[in-house]
Amino acid sequence: MGGAPGWRGRCAGAGRAAVGVGVGLRRGSQERSDREPPRWRDGGHRLRRLAGGPREARGEGEINAANRLIATSASEDSVSRLVRVVVIEGQAVFDSGAGESILATLRDGGLVVYPTDTLYGLGADPFRAEAVARVFAAKRRPPGEPVSVVVPDLEAAQRLAVISPRQQELCRPWLPGPVTLLFAPAAGAPATIISSRNTIAIRVPKHPVALFLAKQFGPITATSANVHGKAPPIECADAREQLGDSVDLYVDAGPSPLGRESTIIDFSGGEPRVIREGAVSARHLGLERRDR
């Protein structure tokens, strides 16, 4: 099942690398082209083979090893699969088709637990109602509660949300970062992620794995990877203990850097107001906290 027609083709700004994030592939897998933006709703971006054949993360690559994120290939573990990731800094280097395995799971309507800067998230294609229904079932979450989505940047967010030029200016210093932004939904936003208050929740996490998925696949759900009412997971093992085989693939990158829920900023009324303080305080953002 495809997404809304408006998502097909190029997305404004999607061809640019996200801040602090680069992507490479190892051992004969394929490379993302910065010159060719993701075809989000055409089943994900096809990764292209490196010119000159496979690349080992040796030699010149070792010089920049501290700026890379190294992911092993996916391995079978019970019913769910597991991709273990070592996050060092900045760039992403995927072994043996691990990145493509994650993207294929999302394309097939599957559920993926993945790391963000705040907590582990539960990802699915928001344009597939059955995939979002699986998210609610896995979390045992009451229907109708809002589900946030990860996008790579504000330009991509504008295909889902109505964001004024002034709101964009206010948001840019905070992104990528540990905030969830509430806006009025755009015409092309899927009903699966529009709240009962007629808002859509946008995240641009400062984490290379989350941004890789958002750039290569497109928007994915970003609800915390826990059973409703239980503690949200800081580590992948916490998510696996709660969700088990209801999830198709787990991406383990170690503890989430911040280990706290995101701060929610509501723009739906025009002016920003913090309705939940989390990893970053309202004062740090230069805003006041206000009740709903």
Residue written as tokens 């953002």?
285
Residue 276: Cβ within 10 Å count: 14
Rounded to 5°, the CA angle 60-62-66 comes to: 130
- The answer to the question of residue 20 being in a domain is yes
- The answer to the question of residue 145 being in a domain is yes
The model's pLDDT over 236-287, given as tens digits with 9 standing for 90+, comes to 999 999 999 999 999 998 899 999 999 999 999 889 999 999 999 999 999 9
- The answer to the question of residue 291 being in a domain is no
The model's pLDDT over 122-161, given as tens digits with 9 standing for 90+, comes to 999 999 999 999 999 999 998 878 899 999 999 999 999 9
Specify the number of domains making up the chain: 1
Which residue in 103, 126, 1 sits closest to 46, CA to CA?
103
Residues of the domain holding 190: 5-285
- The count of C-alpha atoms lying within 13 angstroms of the C-alpha of 218, restricted to the half-sphere facing its C-beta, is 31
- The answer to the question of residue 46 being in a domain is yes
